[in-house]
Structure 1
Amino acid sequence: MTEQLTPDDVLRLRMRALGLTADSWAAVPAGQAGPAEQAGATEAGSGTNESTGTGTGTDRVCADRGTGAERITAVARRMLAVQGQDWRSSRWALGVRAPGSRVDDVLEAFAQRRIVRSWPMRGTVHVVPAEDIGWMQAATNHRVLAGAPKRREFLGMSDAALDRLVETSLAAIDATPGLDRDALAAAWTDAGIEWQSAWRYHVVWWLCQNGLATFGPIGAGGEPQLVRAEGWIETPRQLDGDAALAELATRYAIGRGPVRDKDFAWWTGLTVREARVGIEAAAEAGALVRAEALDAAGDPVRGVAGALWVDPELLGSVSDRGDLPEWSLLTAFDEHLLGYTERAVQLDPEHFDRIVPGRNGMFLATVVHRGRVVGTWKRARTKHGGLEVTPFPGSRIDAAALAPLNTVAAEFHGVPPGEVTVAQA
């Protein structure tokens, strides 16, 4: 019998899958855990699904075990990809899911070659487990690379210019342990290349999107630097075809909870048809199961819109009515919202413009009450720090209740916590 999920069920399961409840677990794909992760794994479960390569049971590692870098890596593997265009925000997106971690643990995970920052899909920067970036790009590149020639035409960059820039870039990267964007541009100038400022982002994207380079070790400026992907990533996984699509679908649902096929298509940038191929392959392997969405009145949601796909282990916990966290402070671009196209259980649609002012694609950091977004926050720009909170109309936010969370976030980043102030709605 197909499980029927109420909106409250979907919210609870999503929060658990997202690593935002006390009983959340970080999943480590089989064969990819380091010695410390393997030692900390639970004894329950049956190992690897042979069709997808996705770990179950013995490959699930609690995000509060191991070293800080191992805990951050466990979160990254559970989430598969965390939106990363805002460098500071991406670090907290990992840290908030690994209690007790610090920003240095994230930097160490990069230094240990466990995670990288690159473009796995959708033409968007993400933080990804190092072993997964290659096969993810191979599965999704056809959707993003097709538009590159038109983009270069707009930029006034010829194919010959791109070839020379790539050749010069790789030579410069090979000559250093890590190269930042400014040093890369300086190498172009030293090589006598006449380039335009608008070209730099495209070239860096092209290098990373094609798996020639990736952002790995942390430089003196505190951000990841460009390295050769082939030399930096020590144990890349090899997946292609339907197996890669099935792995994408499985890992996406493990880290997001109940999802629809259109959610998966949007998140990966794949077509809906391709998304369904991946979901169907994962379902045939038993890695995903179908559930039926109920509306607020308890009636089934008809048609394709009512079909939800869920990790069976997560679905097995649907009867666990464990409490959602009373309050959460989530970063800008957090997967709590960015992981879905259908996010009404987490955010009242009428407040979307307050999260993305002007609908410009820039998601603000959010205050979450029992799984639902009720306001936004930002760090005060003063030497004493502090949190400035703006509630949605009709929402009441308790500054005192947020104070401990503010302290945790400040300790993670190594900044003064300051006071929490709640603005007029």
Structure 2
Amino acid sequence: MEALSNNQIATQRLVNQQITDSKFKYLEKLLSYLGAIQAQDFAMAKWAIGARIPGLAEADVDQALEKGTILRTHILRPTWHFVAAEDLRWMLDLTAPHVKRIVNSYNQKLELTDELLAKARKIIEKSLSGNNHLTRKEIMLILSENGIRTDEWRSTHIMFDAELSGLVCSGINKGKQFTYSLIDETIKKHASFSGDGALAELTFRYFNSRGPATIPDFCWWSGLTLTKARKGVELNSNKFNQFTKENQTYYFTGNFKESKPDDTIHFLPAFDEFLIAYKDRSASMDTSHYKKVIAGYGIFKPLMIQNGFVKGAWQRTVKKDEVHIQLSFIDKVNKSEFQKFAAVAEDYGIFISKKVVIIK
């Protein structure tokens, strides 16, 4: 088919990512459709779900996490993600071996041998058994009492290994503190994909929910090798449409339908999939303004999007009954445009049940 323009690509991604015209009402179904949502910024990641399900409240996301129907854990690239509980096991089986190879050199520097990590996993399993949800600090104290050093980033890598090994996932919070629980005690139902079936499924979910996108985009998002990513696309060859643009092949499902010009504005969270799910983000932003929306060390700011294009960033300060929001535009806007964006900020206030105060 004929290549789509950047605007058309961005518009289609808004629809496929459920940012516009969302078809989902349930968190678990949305996360399963998306595969996973990056979630190292916990509060903002909850809004990534809220921005895709109209009428959802932050308390609804917290409740789903408490029930264990959605989880927050390390999966895909070595970072935090939200994932539907029933999808965790097969996704770990597919992606964890690659991630473990990435972190192995760090483990060696920290003298975390395979034998030592195996010992730590046995202690952690015993400590958490019987639905005994513990914080990282509590787990590290138990490990220290058993002669395992947990200083100098060792605690991070020990728990990272326990997650990637399919032992632990997020548990019930203790106040504001996160806990860990055993996967086998937390997840009641597992989706069954394995081998090429798992590879085909993850590939389909990515291009179905984030297309049009390229194989390098998928590699970046999934953490899979180029060889595996290409195979995943081949396994779905009869399900994807494609076009070539600037020597890159873009894949997506369904048929592109030209949308009518509109003026849709969206306030998206830090690290939102709309931008971070792609290696090449030029369809939705002027890359010469990269530093205005992406801070150092790969920190993605909360973004303001208009018609699929990045117009600026926003910053929140949560008070007792209010949330103060400051808008920072890449280019100057007039008073009328400013008010359009300020009005949309109310959606976030509704989500967290606080009054929005725009700070100029």
TM-score by shorter chain over 0.5: yes
User: 2: distance between equivalents of 1:184 and 1:324?
Assistant: 52
Deviation of 1:265 after TM superposition, in Å, equals 1.1
Opposite residue 18 of structure 2, the aligned amino acid is G
Tell me which amino acid in the other structure corresponds to 1:140.
T
Report what 1:385 is aligned to: 323
Looking at both structures, which has the greater relative contact order when contacts are Cα pairs under 8 Å and sequence separation is at least 6? 2
**2:251 equivalent to 1:309:** yes
CA distance, structure 2, for counterparts of residue 111 and residue 419 of structure 1: 32
Q: What SS does the corresponding residue of 2:179 show, helix, strand or coil?
A: strand
**Do 1:155 and 1:199's aligned partners in 2 also have CA atoms closer than 8 Å?**
yes
- Separation in 2 of the partners of 1:395 and 1:242? 50
- C-alpha distance in 1 between matches for 2:111 and 2:323: 44
**Deviation (angstroms), 1:164:** 2.8
Structure 2 Cα separation of the partners of residues 218 and 334 of structure 1: 24
Q: State whether residues 356 and 364 of structure 1, in contact with CA within 8 Å, keep that contact through their aligned partners in structure 2.
A: yes
| Alpha-carbon distance in 2 for matches of 1:249, 1:365 | 27
Corresponding position: 1:260 with 2:214: yes
Q: SS state of the match for residue 117, structure 1?
A: strand
Identical amino acids, percent of aligned pairs: 25
Q: TM-score, normalised on structure 1?
A: 0.79
Distance, in Å, in 1 between the alignment partners of 2:5 and 2:175 is 47
Partner of 1:333: 271
User: Structure 2: which amino acid aligns with 1:366?
Assistant: L
Alpha carbons of 1:72 and 1:126: their partners in 2 closer, same or farther (altered >3 Å)?
Answer: same
Gaps of 5+ in 1: 25-61, 66-70, 294-300
Q: Alignment partner for residue 205 of structure 1, among 136, 141, 160?
A: 160
CA distances 1:308-338 after superposition (whole Å, capped 9, x unpaired): 11112xx2xx234145552111100000101
Secondary structure, in 3 states, of the residue corresponding to 1:266?
A: helix
How many aligned residue pairs are there?
358
Checking the alignment, whether the CA contact within 8 Å between 2:66 and 2:173 is kept in structure 1 is no
**1:249 matched residue in structure 2:** 203
Q: Which range moved further: 405-414 or 155-164? A: 155-164
Displacement, 1:382?
A: 5.0
Q: Which runs of 5 or more structure 2 residues have no equivalent in the other structure?
A: none
Structure 1 counterpart of 2:341, one-letter code: L
The alpha-carbon deviation at position 240 of structure 1 amounts to 2.2
What do the CA deviations read for 1:82-138 (whole angstroms, capped 9, x no partner)? Answer: 001111111000011011111111122223332111122111211011111111121
Letter in 2 for 1:132: D
Contact conserved, 1:118 with 1:209, CA < 8 A, in 2?
Answer: no
- The change in CA–CA distance for 1:223 and 1:14 in structure 2 (over 3 A counts) is farther
Provide, for residues 209-257 of structure 1, a one-character-per-residue CA deviation record: whole Å limited to 9, x for no partner: 1111111x43132465311112211221222222222111110012112
| Distance in 2, Cα, partners of 1:325 & 1:110 | 34
Residue of structure 2 equivalent to 1:28 = none
Residue in 2 that maps onto 1:91: 46
**1:14-413 matched pairs, under 5 angstroms:** 14-21=13-20, 23-24=21-22, 62-63=23-24, 65=25, 71-215=26-170, 217-222=171-176, 224-283=178-237, 286-293=238-245, 301=246, 303=247, 305=248, 307-312=249-254, 315=255, 318-323=256-261, 326-358=264-296, 360-380=297-317, 384-394=322-332, 398-413=337-352
| Aligned-partner residue type, residue 207 of structure 2 | A
The residue type equivalent to 1:350 in the other structure is S
Give the stretch that moved more between structures: 401-410 or 133-142: 401-410
Change (3 A) 1:271 1:161: closer
Shift of 1:408: 2.0
CA displacement 1:283-324 (0-9 Å, x = unmatched)? 1xx32222333xxxxxxx3x3x1x111112xx2xx2341455
**Letter of the structure 2 residue corresponding to residue 83 of structure 1:** Q
The separation in 1 between residues aligned to 2:198 and 2:131, in whole angstroms, is: 33
* TM-score normalised by L of structure 2: 0.92
Alpha-carbon displacement from aligned partner over 1:52-71 (angstroms, at most 9, x marks no partner): xxxxxxxxxx32x4xxxxx2
Q: What SS class does the counterpart of residue 287 from structure 1 fall into?
A: coil
1:272 and 1:149 mapped to 2: Cα distance? 20
| Structure 2 letter corresponding to 1:5 | L
Give distance in 1, aligned partners of 2:262 and 2:307: 5
What secondary structure sits across from 2:298 in the alignment? Answer: coil
SS in structure 2 of the partner of residue 4 of structure 1: coil
State yes or no: 1:414 paired with 2:353.
Answer: yes
Quote the offset at 1:272 in angstroms: 1.5
